Amino acid sequence: MKLLIVPSWYPTNIHPESGTFFRDRAKILQRCGFSITIATHVLHSTRDILKFKQNVNNAEAKIDDGVVVYKTESINPFPKMPSKTFNQYKKSILSLIKKVINISKPEFVFINSSLYGGAALAKYLHAEMIPFMVSEHLKEFIIKDQFSLFQKNCINECYNYSSKIITTSEVLKNKIINNFNIENKKILLIPNPADTKYFLPKRNKEGDTFTFISIALLRPEKRLDILIKAFAILFKQIPNIVLTIIGDGPEKDKLELLSHKLEVNNRINFIGYQNKIAVSDMLRDHDALVLSSDVETFGVVIVEAMSVGLPVIATKCGGPESIVVKETGILVESNDKNKLSEAMKHMIDYYENYDSKTIRQIAISTYGDKAYGDNIMNAIDSVLSAKG
């Protein structure tokens, strides 16, 4: 199966953390037997203009771990003008897609996000009679009134032409059905996968210090301030604990200042952005993962931690409710430092109840390569068989 994947955002030298999960999933599908090509255009903020190099726009194919990637980049000169931004993006991505299709026409196209890859390509792919489906990932779908009228029109245009809409959690699926008047048969729930090639079983740890780990972009909705406050409460009861925070973002200075203010800075390690291999290695040396977000459409870090065999503590914020079960961890209300602290204490007190082999097996059977590859293939087959 020749599958063209079009991510609406993707890792670049300027932002290596952006869209890494799209790249990882493409590699998983390649391992599952798909012949994968990636084509993507990345619009950078004007804030990145000094880091930007014009030669990134050459659209030459590169091989990334066995996957053919066509990637172009440009600066967005219209940051306050959504329709002009979209038109510039549409022109760039259409030009790239036409070139890629000219070289080798795909049997199917898989677009990651209606905003804006799906909206930009929907009419063209329909006219060329190339079937496609779109997957959704944006948190704005599960928060009320987050899309502008222009964005809603873009989403609707994509959905009008798309053969299938893929969602990653039950809450995301229901929100799209209700807010965009989508037929239930057109929308599928396919959980995000964990790349078990990298996420190997946890190592035996020495010592009696209990180590928590959290992995997130340091943005307001991730509520790492709540996690740090919960950790500080727990530290007063159990001093032999450590928290590692992996990730970077605009909240970093504020969060480090908070850890100093609460006098737990010597027990919290801010590691910054790390690649997947480093993240896997760090997970294997910790006891439990904590996710403290206000909103998540899925929660891939939960599945990655489970793939290592770690139990998880996660807030009820959309995606985690579809992932965490009693064998794998604890769900708590969001935005509540006391409840989160209690859950962290419970994890320490009853840690022996969580079996790492069982947790890892649940992750692999539900979110492993084969499960994801089969789900995507079944979705594509259902579209192609309906077209005859």
Q: Give kind and range of the element (H or E) at residue 137.
A: none
Number of H helices, E strands in the chain: 12, 14
Helix (H, G, I), strand (E, B) or coil at 215: strand
**Distances from the Cα of 264 to the Cα of 111, 187, 236, 246, 315, angstroms:** 44, 46, 10, 17, 22
Contact (CB, 8 A) for 18 and 11:
yes
Nearest to 124 by CA among 100, 148, 151: 100
- CA 386/CA 65 separation, integer angstroms: 34
Which domains can be identified in the chain, with CATH numbers?
A: 2-192+369-387 (3.40.50.2000), 210-367 (3.40.50.2000)
Continuous segment of H or E residues that includes residue 43: strand 35-44
Q: For residues 78 and 27, what is the distance between their CA atoms, to the nearest angstrom?
A: 33
| Omega before 89 within 30 of 0, i.e. cis | no
201, 360 Cβ separation under 8 angstroms:
yes
pLDDT at 197: 77
Report yes or no: 65 and 230 within 8 Å, Cβ to Cβ. no
Q: Cβ atoms within 10 A of the Cβ of 257, count?
A: 11
- The pLDDT tens digits of the residues spanning 320-368 come to 999 999 999 999 999 999 999 999 999 999 999 999 999 999 999 999 9
pLDDT under 70 in the chain at which residues?
Answer: 54-58, 388
Nearest CA among 221, 276, 274 for reference residue 245: 274
- Strands (DSSP E) contained in 168-300 are 187-189, 210-215, 241-246, 268-272, 288-291
Q: Are 296 and 192 in contact (CB under 8 A)?
A: no
Report pLDDT for 59: 74
The DSSP bridge partners found for residue 37 are: 4, 68
| Residue appearing with tokens 């079983």 | 201
pLDDT in tens, 73-129: 999 989 889 999 999 999 999 999 999 999 999 999 999 999 999 999 999 999 999
**Degrees, nearest 5: CA angle 378-381-382:** 85
Instruction: For residue 75, give every residue at least 6 positions away whose Cβ sits within 8 Å of its Cβ, in sequence order, or none.
Output: 43, 44, 45, 46, 48, 49, 52
What pLDDT is recorded for position 58? 64
**pLDDT given for residue 57 in this prediction:** 56
How buried is 140 (Cβ within 10 angstroms: 0-12 exposed, 13-18 middle, 19+ buried)?
A: middle
